[in-house]
């Protein structure tokens, strides 16, 4: 990990059972990162149809976990990245947004209109543009930064150092790069994002993966050169948990 104290991480709680205290989880899995460098954790709390990215199988963070994060000045990042958001859903989950609304907490969204509503009604949240938005050009970065506080770039851009290095310095401060990556790194289609968005409506939608029709090597968890990226001026990194023996994010 880079030694630069300006580097911070948002960390996935993937693989954490709800009954494992969150600080114990961090010590076991990410003990090499000081708490001062952990900006936030992202994962599921209560059941919610606004989640995306991966299927909701149950809460990963309890109320006690969330309070423990707050006591260590670590924020909660809510992955509200569902590709389909209806007006009535937003109204239904305002209690949810209200519960976690406080400075230091964030939401990740895919739908711009959801981002605008949260900005209007819950201004203490930081709002981040999801990797699902596929922001992969300079123009797309500029447009996204007009609405979002921060932007996650696709992990496939991490090895494209010339592209990353040419991003203006002040914009790099608002960009999150993946520290490591799973199956999405070399997936040509990412049809799972749409399928999972439908699955998380809890109406029996099936999971879909492009591996069946577009076979490719499964690389496992791929780690990126954070020292090189941080030297280039990037300070925000998204860190996924490697699954021992696993080949994909699932």
Contact between 129 and 152 (Cβ < 8 Å): yes
Max CA separation in the chain (angstroms): 47
List the pLDDT tens digit at each of the 250 positions of the chain.
Answer: 555 658 999 999 998 988 899 999 999 999 999 999 999 999 999 999 999 999 999 999 999 999 999 999 999 999 999 999 999 999 999 999 999 999 999 999 999 999 999 999 999 999 999 999 999 999 999 999 999 999 999 999 999 999 999 999 999 999 999 999 999 999 999 999 999 999 999 999 999 999 989 998 888 889 999 999 999 999 999 999 755 555 445 4
CA distances in angstroms from 224 to 130, 154, 155, listed in the order given:
19, 13, 9
Structural domain contains residue 172: yes
Task: Write the DSSP string, 160-193.
Answer: -HHHHHTS-HHHHTTEEEESEE-GGGG-S--THH
Handedness of CA 6, 12, 16, 19 (dihedral sign): positive
User: Rounded to whole angstroms, how far apart are CA atoms 241 and 134?
Assistant: 22
What span, in angstroms and rounded, lies between the C-alpha atoms of 194 and 215?
19
Q: Do the domain assignments include residue 249?
A: no
Residues found in the chain: 250
In a domain, 222, yes or no: yes
Quickly count: other Cβ atoms within 10 Å of residue 12's Cβ. 22
Is 37 a member of any domain?
A: yes
Q: How far apart are CA 151 and CA 109, in angstroms?
A: 10
* 40-57 tens-digit pLDDT: 999 999 999 999 999 999
CA distances (Å), origin 196, targets 106, 173, 185, 225: 21, 30, 17, 30
42 beta partners:
12, 77
Look at residue 1 and tell me if it is in a domain.
no
Which structural domain range is residue 150 located in? 8-239
Q: Residue 49: CB partners within 8 Å, gap ≥ 6?
A: 82, 89, 92, 93, 200, 201, 202
Q: How many domains does the chain have?
A: 1
Q: Can you tell me the distance from the alpha carbon of 144 to that of 147, in angstroms, rounded to the nearest whole number? A: 6
Here the CATH number for the domain that contains residue 94 is 3.20.20
Within a domain: residue 200?
A: yes
CA 153/CA 32 separation, integer angstroms = 25
Instruction: Let me know if residue 113 belongs to a domain.
Output: yes
Residue 206 region by backbone torsions, left for phi larger than 0, else alpha for psi between -120 and 50, else beta = beta
pTM here? 0.94
- 247 in a domain, yes or no? no
CB 222 within 8 A of CB 156: no
């Amino acid at each position: 990990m880079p030694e630069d104290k300006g580097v911070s991480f948002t960390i996935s709680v993937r693989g954490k059972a709800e009954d494992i205290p969150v600080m114990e989880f961090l010590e076991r899995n990410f003990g090499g990162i000081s708490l001062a460098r952990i900006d936030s954790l992202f994962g599921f709390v209560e059941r919610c149809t606004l989640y995306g990215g991966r299927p909701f199988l149950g809460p990963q963070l309890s109320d006690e976990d969330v309070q423990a994060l707050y006591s260590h000045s670590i924020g909660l990042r809510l992955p509200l990245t569902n590709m389909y958001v209806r007006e009535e859903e937003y109204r239904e989950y305002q209690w949810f947004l209200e519960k976690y609304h406080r400075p230091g907490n964030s939401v990740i969204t895919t739908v711009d209109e959801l981002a605008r509503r949260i900005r209007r009604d819950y201004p203490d949240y930081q709002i981040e543009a999801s990797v699902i938005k596929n922001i992969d050009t300079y123009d797309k970065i500029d447009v996204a930064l007009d609405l979002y506080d921060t932007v996650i770039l696709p992990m496939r851009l991490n090895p494209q150092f010339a592209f990353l290095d040419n991003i203006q310095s002040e914009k790099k401060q608002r960009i999150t790069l993946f520290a490591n990556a799973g199956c999405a790194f070399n997936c040509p289609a990412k049809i799972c994002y749409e399928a999972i968005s439908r699955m998380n409506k809890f109406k029996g939608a099936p999971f879909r993966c492009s591996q069946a029709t577009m076979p490719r090597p499964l690389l496992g968890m791929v780690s990126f050169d954070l020292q090189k990226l941080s030297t280039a001026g990037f300070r925000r990194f998204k860190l996924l948990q490697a699954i021992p023996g696993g080949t994909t994010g699932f």
